[in-house]
Amino acid sequence: MVLHRPKKIDQNIGIIETKYKILVEGVHKTYLLGTTAVPALRGMDVKIKPGEFLGLMGPSGCGKTTLLNLIGGLDYPTRGKIYLDGKDMSLLDENQLADLRRDNIGYVFQFYNLLPLLTALENVMIPLHFQGTLSRRARKRKAMELLKLVKLDERSHHTPSELSGGEQQRVAIARAFANDPSIVLLDEPTGDLDSKTGIEILNLLRDLNRKGATFISATHDAAVSEYCTRIIHIRDGKIVKGLEVSGLKETDEMREARLSLQSEYKERCERKILEFIRSEKSQDIFEIRISKIKDSIDQEILTNLPMYFDDLVSELIDKEDIPGKIKSGVLILEKTKNVFEA
């Protein structure tokens, strides 16, 4: 019989003994929108070991970003606990959380979030400035080393508008590593990139992950999941049981369940896209910025839409179900009779 060792708890400072880098226990998060309660997480339990590259997958609105925000100390759970290195985050006040974020966590977002007027070098120097331990000269030296790590040292004096999307993301990654984080949180890190650049970024992330930090990435991108050491699927604020994929341990049964879930989302997305472009709401010729599709489409159509959206649209175009093209991340649809009368 296996006996589980009870966690030793020091009640005064909220530290537990654990081998996990991050422990999420019974976490619920409910947002209040006016008088309406929006349950985003409904009882999450996740154990994350040091050095993992964990992928969070699931349809739009299932709670991926909410979970990242809670782990990253950007918000508090409504119920449940999150431990970082055994430390109960709910006991930290806002200043302590800010220190924890500054000293331990790096963030990489879909749209890079670089300051447009600063050079690549200056953007990477920002966290070092807030850390306040290095002289300006040392900050500059460290920022250059980080740019070298992402192979952008020769572009250090360029501003974001002078860099491609992939280069901007590399600057954002260098910035995320400025405080030597032990945890890196990534929210759709390849979401705004073409697939070739996305793969370059993923290779870079994999190399950086192997240096020891724990990575957690929310993604819709199947390519990202291939770089993860483990994937959990989330649906309606809960983990989909039996769909946890760890390294090469995915069984045939799990694979079948995963593919069937994906195909269900895919069909739902495909139907909604076609319904939308065939509807009266769309004009004769219109353009949709794919990465911003959320801004331009009705909420109802949005449900589950972004999952595999780029791939799906490309596929529909290839099959000539949609008369259009994708150019520089913009989907250009031309409404013609035969397609829309179908």
Ligand X SMILES: Nc1ncnc2c1ncn2[C@@H]1O[C@H](COP(=O)(O)OP(=O)(O)OP(=O)(O)O)[C@@H](O)[C@H]1O
> What is the binding site for ligand X (CB under 6 A)?
31, 33, 38, 40, 58, 60-66, 218, 306
Q: Which is nearer to ligand X, 77 or 324 (CB)?
A: 77
Report CA 72 to chain centroid distance, whole Å: 12
Q: Which of the 8 DSSP states describes residue 232?
A: E
What's the min distance (Å) between Cβ of 242 and ligand X?
20
Nearer to ligand X, 55 or 63 (CB): 63
Amino acid identity of 30?
A: T
| DSSP run (H or E) holding 67 | helix 64-71
Q: How far is the CB of 310 from ligand X (least distance, A)?
A: 14
Nearer to ligand X, 36 or 338 (CB): 36
CA distance linking residue 68 with residue 56, whole number of Å: 9
Contact in structure between 218 and 65 (CB atoms under 8 Å) = yes
Q: How far is the CB of 252 from ligand X (least distance, A)?
A: 28
**C-alpha span between 175 and 192 (Å, rounded):** 18
Rg of the Cα trace of the chain?
Answer: 22
Residue 81 corresponds to which tokens in the numbers above? 């606990």
Report whether 55 contacts 206 (CB < 8 A). Answer: no
**Looking at beta carbons only, is 38 or 285 nearer to ligand X?**
38
Q: Which is nearer to ligand X, 122 or 221 (CB)?
A: 221
**Smallest separation (angstroms) from ligand X to the CB of 50:** 24
Least separation in angstroms between residue 117's CB and ligand X is 28
Phi-psi sector, 158: left (phi>0), alpha (psi -120 to 50), beta:
beta
